[in-house]
Structure 1
Amino acid sequence: MNDFDWAAMADMLELEGEAHGPYVAAALEELAGLAPRRILDIGSGPGVAACRLAATFPDAEVTAVDGTPELLERAALRAGRLGVRLRTRVAEIPAGLTGLDPADLVWTGQVVHHIADQQGALDRLAALLAPGGVLAVVEGGLPARFLPRDLGFGRPALETRLDVAMADRFDRMRRELPGTVRTVEDWPAMLRAAGLTEARSRTFVVDHPAPLDERYRRSLRGMLERQRAMLADELCADDVATLDRLLDPADPAGIDRRPDVYLLLAKTVHFARRPVA
């Protein structure tokens, strides 16, 4: 989990978590019959999902677990602002998971794909469950859409080309992880291989129409800035120029000012349960 400077991304991660919040709320509705006493959010980041878990299950002991202390400080401050009970625990993922007590619900959002041995990571997460406990793993879905296909400048379908470049970068990240293990990413099958039952997947849509809330708009700006920095050498000059115009705060056609910006995406959550006996 040391492939990014997570602390430097704190603002973007918190804004993104808030923008994507509806899928977490919808996923937790799938667990309405659960009455967990202990909950772990593994790879919690700044605690957006962890605080929602704490609000949804106010009688549970909720612990945000992350390897970046600065993000856990954010999580604690967020919990204080929202008036929810939240513990924090610094632990490297997955190596530091073995010291955690069993939980009735383990949530992990877009963490496993950063780990070289994804099946091994799921095995460790499954081992954290108390008998009858549920593991919820967020992986996959559909990329965000937030711009018209034709912006009125540059080549149309910019987002499609950004998707391709990001997918190539993701594949390279996976290949370069030390000890990486190539895995068929059939998540329900992987959860069953980890010894869990009742494995299933649900996909939840996040739909924020235009005109977009300004905090969500700032989240999109942060994403575009990051993509501009990461992909400048992989995109054609015309697309880089288009990104520069989108990121110009003075341009009426930029991300900050254009009225047609929206946010539409889908997140997939994979659920499974540890057998009671």
Structure 2
Amino acid sequence: MSTDTPVSWDALVPQLVDAARQDRTWYLTVARELVGPADRLAVDVGCGAAGMSLAIARMMACGRVVAVDASPAVLAAAHDHIRSGWSDPRVRIELVCIDFPAEIDALRETLGTGVDLVWASAAIHHVGDQQAAVTALADLLAPGGRMALAEGGLPEQHLPWDVGLGEPGLEVRLHAAQDRWFARMRAELPDSRRMPYGWTEALRRAGLCPVTTRTILDEQPAPLADVARRTVLDALSRRVAWLRPTGLLSDADLSVWERLLDPADERWLGHRDDLFRLSARSVHLGVRPDPP
């Protein structure tokens, strides 16, 4: 998305690549439900490492998937990911460097015709005027076309409420700090406007009907396999490191996290058998009605 946001997408490239690989099953599950047999043109806005672009391509019989991002570094990672996992000439995946929504006209020209499916995951909330962005994307749809927003759900949980160090509720406070960071990020965006209603209402205000929501539960109970445990530890380490300079975590909690994430410490989370992964991710879907 826009490089004017406080988020440095270039620095997040390794994380985006990891997410595209780890979420492959989730992407395929969602794409299987979204892609119709007659779909020939789809666009993935804020594509990251193109995990969903690949999943959509796998579900299409033929046509184009246009993967859009504003960061050349992110698109380079997406190119490598696509090259390693896609070779079917019947569906072409195109990478386009466009800053949405500022360059919406360039995106419309690139697409050239009405779109069957618009996908945007955790992207619109990085735009100052979220309703205007949803409406602009809805205007790209052909009659009967669908727009899917992967926004919201429940934050991923990994730890028991009491880990035995510091005050109970450590991970709850981590989520709260991230939520405060999110509010700060939104307030600092250019032309930031509040959207005091949910994503389904935003889709309706963009002229789409019907509008539905599908929430998918992702659960990996304890004890985790070694690979999944490493994934959890890496994710927690990144989040704590990211929030550390913001001042949103207390010194007491930071001290606990330092011990829990230090492999040399006897309380290292990697020694525990009660780590788990639990999240619920929502996809909001709106359909452009046929003209009267």
Alignment partners' CA distance in 2, 1:55 and 1:209: 29
Aligned to 2:189: 177
Stretches of structure 2 lacking an aligned partner (at least 5 in a row): none
CA shift for structure 1 position 246 = 2.3
Equivalenced residues, count: 277
1:90 — aligned with what? Answer: 97
Alignment of 1:54-93 (within 5 A): 54-84=57-87, 85-93=92-100
Letter in 2 for 1:78: H
1:1-277 to structure 2, matched below 5 A, reads: 1-2=2-3, 3-31=6-34, 33-84=36-87, 85-100=92-107, 101=111, 102-232=114-244, 233-251=247-265, 253-277=267-291
| Higher RCO (CA 8 Å, separation ≥ 6 residues) | 1
Task: Look up the SS of the partner of 1:86 in the other structure.
Answer: strand
Structure 1 residue ranges without an equivalent (≥5): none
Deviation at 1:192, TM superposition (A): 1.3
Give the aligned residue type for 1:74. A
Q: Measured at CA, do residues 207 and 252 of structure 1 come closer, stay the same or move farther in structure 2, by a change above 3 Å?
A: farther
The CA distance in 1 between the partners of 2:266 and 2:55, in whole Å, is 36
Identity of aligned residues (%): 36
User: Do the aligned residues in 1 keep the contact of 2:65 with 2:94 (CA within 8 Å)?
Assistant: yes
Q: CA RMSD in A?
A: 2.1
Q: TM-score, normalised by structure 1?
A: 0.91
Structure 1 residue 216, shift from structure 2 partner: 4.3
Secondary structure at the counterpart of residue 156 of structure 1: coil
After superposition, give the CA deviation of every residue in 1:79-127 in whole Å (9 maximum; x if it has no partner). Answer: 2211245221111121123223132111000111111000000011111
